[in-house]
Structure 1
Amino acid sequence: MTRSSEIRPDLDEGIDRKVLAQLRSRFLALSESRLARAYEGLSTRQQSVLSLLPLFFHVNHPLLPGYVSGSTPAGVSHYEPDAQALAEAQRLTRSFSYKPRRVNPPQPIHGIFLMGSLGTLAQADQSDMDVWICHDPLLSADDMQELRKKCQSLESWAASMGAEAHFFLVDPERFVVGERDAQLSGEDCGTTQHYLLLDEFYRTAIWMAGRTPMWWLVPVYEETRYAEYTHTLLSKRFIRADEVLDLGNMSRIPPGEFIGAGLWQLFKGIESPYKSVLKLLLTEVYASEHPQVQCLSMRFKKAVFANCADLDELDPYVMVYRRIEEYLLARGEPERLELVRRSLYLKVNKKLTGSTRHRSNSWQRLLLERLVNEWKWDERQLALLDSRSQWKVRQVASERRALVGELNFSYRFLTQFARTQKAVNSINKRDLNVLGRRLYAAFERKAGKVEFLNPGIAPDLAEDTLTLAQLPNKREPGRHQWCLYNGSLSAHELETFAPIKRSRELLELLTWCHRNNVIDS
């Protein structure tokens, strides 16, 4: 994107329609670039799915995937399929021909947006397509039922093309007041995280078709006057109501949302801690700034207005990382920062060592190399992370300590934040207590408990050969203990190696081995 002057609209001085059009173009250009990156990481069939979705919501044709009945709502605002989409549709169904619709046809689909990891640093082969379908609030219950069936049918079709797609129906009017499908928040993470979900939408969503967000046109310094500002834009006809989609503003996030989001990520973190580390830390950053929270969506918007839209620096994962890095450096917590860096590196999952170097240099790999160079990681550290699939007990135990420490820290932070903000309702209080017990049950060490070592840290702890030996217990003279070593060791070699696990009882040691898949059945 070429660099030009910052745009600073001022209501009192009057606003130029050309300036609003220029702003919209900047956001659209960024979406287009992100979408191009998303396509790079998809197979040909997956690319077809993504490119055809707007057409399938625009026309209701019995020969096309997703057809339910003649009465299913169809028509995307301001959308006309391009030659490429039509050619793609005809490859699927040879007898399909597109007829432009009559003058002023109904357009109940107001906007289509792509969410999730596609187009980001963390896009992987198995990344889902999470698609928001924003629709006319006046659709009847029958219309909505038809649209849901269409979405389900398109999910099945996408699966047949090798893509995992999920469609979320969004009524903008209900969304603004905090009402929406529970499904949208994902797996029962509660309906309380409205603004955090909106923050994520505004900084990560890729526009695919339809109206564009009203939020794009409101400068950061006017966010607190969002209602007044947008009313002026509409009433003075700087923009038309049918051009924009209003999902609300980001002027304030209630403190209860940080507790809800933190609780949810901690629950998930017990099972797969790496995935939760980045989100937990971002929640902590936001909560620590309350009530003057600098949301990432606001930073994103500020950069676009300033025309500093560096595609790499505005990547959703890079933005989250930069924000956390800033916070932890200011607090002087280098160990936590290193854990965040490892979590990001493993999430991206593009090995930078070994024969992979000779593969094509994708933009993701180049960006990851740039980050790793900033972090001053050496070859040895990279090789260790790249060999994660071969990690065994020692490495996993070390990593687990760091992850458990982080989860416990987050729990203490959340509990303290809830107290100081007096933001604990009865549900949060109960959840905090349940979570405390679950963390204790999962990670606390105590006599007789068989410790679970590997919550998603490495795929397989099984050792090819192990040595079990009963030896004198140096800490308790006169007693013996059972020791477990990796490899096949003779009696005189045992002195020179440290065991990977000790136990007073053989059965306890074997149970631990079986529980952690160090031995198989």
Structure 2
Amino acid sequence: MHINHKDFPGFIDDEHIPFGLINYNFKDVLKQSIIELFPDNQTLIEEQIRDFWPKKRAIDSVLLMGSIGSIGQSTKSDFDYWVCIDGTRYSAREKKLLQQKLILVEQWAEEVHDMEVHFFLSEIEKVKNNDFGEASGESAGSAQAVFLKSEFYATNIMIAGKVPFWWLVPESTTDAQYKKLWEIMQSGSEPDPKWFMDLGNVEKLVKAEIFGAAIWQISKAMDSPFKSVLKMAKLEVFLENIGTERPLCNILKKRVHFYERFNQDPRSVDPYAMMFDQLLEHYTKVGNEDVVELLKKCLYIKSECKLSGANSIQEQTFKTDIIKGYVEAWKWSPGKLQHLDNIKNWDFSAVSSLGQQIHNFLIGCYRRLSSKIQQQEQLVKIEDSTVIGRKLDSFYTKKDGKIVYLKRAFDEGLLLSDITIKAELDLSSPGKKRWSVYRGEIHHWDDKEVASCLLKESNDPMDLVLWCVFNRIIDTRTNILVTRNCEPITEESLIKFVKQLEEMFPPIRISDIPRNKLLAPSRITRCLTVINFESWPNVADLQTVRTAYQTSWGELYSVAGFEALEDLRRDLFHARRKPEIFVKTHDSPHKNRIFEEFKERTQMDFENLI
């Protein structure tokens, strides 16, 4: 972002592109680093880089925020940068060009270095006034503006450019005092004003933001449950101590200013450790041991330190030192450490149990917060509240026919290479079967370990496969084994069906649904009716009908029979935007005749037969 050259990432071929970092000087050590990153450009760097090193600079500061550099950092942590500019100096087109440049650098980081990087173009005056935009993508919108600024100040790491003036003032500075000190500095020479920028003060957190912050954290939990557990707990602790608690960023600033008083202990200035200590103290005091234990597990797993057995012999870092100190204080047994370190090999029921504990805590915490602040005026915009509320409804609310979202503890790691589908006679419904899906290839059903491999049971095999695909449990690479009782359903037919489902109803993340779709009424976007799913291919009659459909709010439904299909007639054929509609049945000599019979019975204009 400091240069704009065709041989380097982020090049924008437009003379109006703003670029260049203020107070960022060319040094030999920097030149060497650039050569290491771009060895193919060594000659260009050594001979010409000063020619395209910018004389005019557009970017005031670049700062890193979040868990990076703390005990909360993991191998999966994103790199979230604030790219601060004086928005009044540039046109909307120029800012758009800079945003495009930043996106190109993000893409380069991911493609070349497998790093997830986000650049947030931040206008200094807007940040100062707590204006962080709308609740879409990575932005918290109006839901928690002061909370976001507080977190930024607590976790920011200077990369280049101007330093936030906030760091210079005492931790107890009021907003009025802060403004006065800024004005005084502008008229002086020491410290030099050109080295600082005004992003605003954080005197206290705003109680009226709690509702927005709470629903935002629950919605983020769909992607990062561990992080949201700790942050949601932080909101509850803040509300309990509303009259006495200072913002964490101000406590940290005091410790940084007087670091020697804290025995130069890294834990004393680690924002993640500070937050965690506050949470443990609160939930221990109120006697909620289940939450205390959950928080401990979440921190330890997220840290990825793995202190058991041979894992304990590893490179010593400030993070391993801090986590080891926690574990020793908690008196955890070697067996417990080994169990947590082996989390990638947990059976599905254990992983699901942890995920359910996490989501139960989040919802419980949200309800407790809601009951305490019902009468308080909240700052969240109606549109932001609507967007986030509809995400929560899609993810958590159970409805007839709805394929349930798996309440996972982790965003990854549940995709299986092998599954086994089993069918048994349902003794409670003569002539019906009970279907179940298991992790791995199961050949010996009397094995004691089989029960721990069970993923889900259902009265309908199509629903079972839908649930697996929808929740990223299986995909086209998964090997599927079926037992003899599953006939006429075969492994080949299921593999083909999984491929069709992936194309028709690809797994989605609720948190990624565009804002404009969530602000509009829910509508059906795609529909698949399957005929004779459990019948032999050579059957000439129409025996069963089951319809799966997805909505613009990210919900997937599965309903059986002609009556259920009739209920969808208006949404399928008379909507302003007609959804994609497909019909599937076995490839057989009777396929077209069965399809025609289906259209005649429904009196619906289906066209796409697959």
If the length of structure 1 is used for normalisation, what is the TM-score? 0.73
**Aligned residue type for 2:28:** A
Task: Name which of 88, 108, 132 aligns with 1:157.
Answer: 108
Q: Does 1:364 align with 2:316?
A: no
Task: Name which of 135, 143, 149 aligns with 2:85.
Answer: 135
Q: Which residue of the partner structure matches residue 245 of structure 1?
A: 197
RMSD: 4.1
Task: Name which of 203, 215, 220 aligns with 2:171.
Answer: 220
Residue 157 of structure 1, CA deviation: 3.0
**Aligned residue type for 2:225:** P
Q: Cα deviation per residue 1:371-406 (whole Å; 9 max; x = unaligned)?
A: 221222112222222222222244235434522431
| Mean Cα deviation higher: 260-269 or 117-126 | 117-126
**Aligned residue type for 1:410:** C
Secondary structure of the residue aligned to 1:312 is: helix
Q: Which residue of the partner structure matches residue 296 of structure 1?
A: 248
**Aligned residue type for 2:66:** G
Q: Does 1:455 align with 2:399?
A: no
Residue 267 of structure 1, CA deviation: 2.3
Q: Which residue of the partner structure matches residue 62 of structure 2?
A: 112
1:411-430 paired onto structure 2 within 5 Å: 411-423=366-378, 427=382
Q: Which residue of the partner structure matches residue 410 of structure 1?
A: 365
Secondary structure of the residue aligned to 1:99 is: helix
User: Which structure carries more strand by proportion?
Assistant: 2
Residue 502 of structure 1, CA deviation: 13
**Aligned residue type for 1:373:** E
1:70-85 paired onto structure 2 within 5 Å: 70-85=15-30
Residue 70 of structure 1, CA deviation: 4.6
| Mean Cα deviation higher: 204-213 or 91-100 | 91-100
Residue 123 of structure 1, CA deviation: 2.8
Q: Does 1:262 align with 2:214?
A: yes
Q: Cα deviation per residue 1:482-512 (whole Å; 9 max; x = unaligned)?
A: 898988455xx99x99899899x97269966
From the superposition, tell whether residues 101 and 228 of structure 1 become closer, same or farther in structure 2 (CA, over 3 Å): farther
Secondary structure of the residue aligned to 1:421 is: coil
Q: Does 1:66 align with 2:41?
A: no
* 1:176–1:248 contact (8 Å) kept in structure 2: yes
* 1:450–1:512 contact (8 Å) kept in structure 2: no
Q: Which residue of the partner structure matches residue 168 of structure 1?
A: 120
**Aligned residue type for 2:174:** E
**Aligned residue type for 1:67:** F
Secondary structure of the residue aligned to 1:208 is: strand
User: Which structure carries more helix by proportion?
Assistant: 1
Secondary structure of the residue aligned to 1:215 is: helix
Residue 279 of structure 1, CA deviation: 1.3
The number of residues matched between the two structures is 450
Q: Which residue of the partner structure matches residue 142 of structure 2?
A: 191
From the superposition, tell whether residues 81 and 319 of structure 1 become closer, same or farther in structure 2 (CA, over 3 Å): farther
Distance in 2, matches of 1:153 and 1:501, equals 44
From the superposition, tell whether residues 265 and 73 of structure 1 become closer, same or farther in structure 2 (CA, over 3 Å): same
Distance in 1, matches of 2:386 and 2:465, equals 35
Distance in 2, matches of 1:312 and 1:439, equals 36
From the superposition, tell whether residues 119 and 498 of structure 1 become closer, same or farther in structure 2 (CA, over 3 Å): closer
Distance in 2, matches of 1:214 and 1:180, equals 19
Q: Does 1:343 align with 2:298?
A: yes
Q: Cα deviation per residue 1:8-62 (whole Å; 9 max; x = unaligned)?
A: xxxxxxxxxxxxxxxxxxxxxxxxxxxxxxxxxxxxxxxxxxxxxxxx51x4445
Task: Name which of 376, 388, 412 aligns with 2:343.
Answer: 388
Distance in 1, matches of 2:381 and 2:154, equals 32
From the superposition, tell whether residues 513 and 400 of structure 1 become closer, same or farther in structure 2 (CA, over 3 Å): farther
Secondary structure of the residue aligned to 2:459 is: helix
**Aligned residue type for 1:385:** L
Q: Cα deviation per residue 1:238-279 (whole Å; 9 max; x = unaligned)?
A: 433312111001113322322111101112335653342111
Q: Which residue of the partner structure matches residue 95 of structure 1?
A: 44
From the superposition, tell whether residues 424 and 174 of structure 1 become closer, same or farther in structure 2 (CA, over 3 Å): closer
Q: Which has the larger radius of gyration?
A: 2
* 1:483–1:502 contact (8 Å) kept in structure 2: no
Secondary structure of the residue aligned to 2:44 is: coil
From the superposition, tell whether residues 189 and 135 of structure 1 become closer, same or farther in structure 2 (CA, over 3 Å): closer
Task: Name which of 225, 236, 240 aligns with 1:284.
Answer: 236
Q: Cα deviation per residue 1:448-497 (whole Å; 9 max; x = unaligned)?
A: 99866552458349797899888999xxxxxxx9898988455xx99x99
Q: Which residue of the partner structure matches residue 397 of structure 2?
A: 441
1:13-24 paired onto structure 2 within 5 Å: none
* 2:5–2:52 contact (8 Å) kept in structure 1: no
From the superposition, tell whether residues 507 and 213 of structure 1 become closer, same or farther in structure 2 (CA, over 3 Å): same
**Aligned residue type for 1:144:** K
Distance in 1, matches of 2:381 and 2:213, equals 16
Distance in 1, matches of 2:386 and 2:90, equals 38
**Aligned residue type for 1:257:** E
From the superposition, tell whether residues 110 and 172 of structure 1 become closer, same or farther in structure 2 (CA, over 3 Å): same
Point out which structure has higher relative CO (alpha carbons under 8 A, 6+ apart).
1
Q: Cα deviation per residue 1:146-188 (whole Å; 9 max; x = unaligned)?
A: 32232233223323431332222222112212334548x8435
From the superposition, tell whether residues 379 and 266 of structure 1 become closer, same or farther in structure 2 (CA, over 3 Å): same
**Aligned residue type for 2:160:** A
* 2:132–2:145 contact (8 Å) kept in structure 1: no
Distance in 1, matches of 2:11 and 2:339, equals 50
Task: Name which of 46, 65, 72 aligns with 1:122.
Answer: 72
* 1:483–1:501 contact (8 Å) kept in structure 2: no
Secondary structure of the residue aligned to 2:62 is: strand
Distance in 2, matches of 1:467 and 1:100, equals 69
Distance in 1, matches of 2:461 and 2:452, equals 12
Q: Cα deviation per residue 1:214-245 (whole Å; 9 max; x = unaligned)?
A: 10111022234221233233335543331211
Distance in 1, matches of 2:379 and 2:68, equals 35
Secondary structure of the residue aligned to 1:161 is: helix
From the superposition, tell whether residues 384 and 254 of structure 1 become closer, same or farther in structure 2 (CA, over 3 Å): same
**Aligned residue type for 1:290:** I
**Aligned residue type for 2:29:** Q
**Aligned residue type for 2:186:** L
Q: Which residue of the partner structure matches residue 279 of structure 2?
A: 324
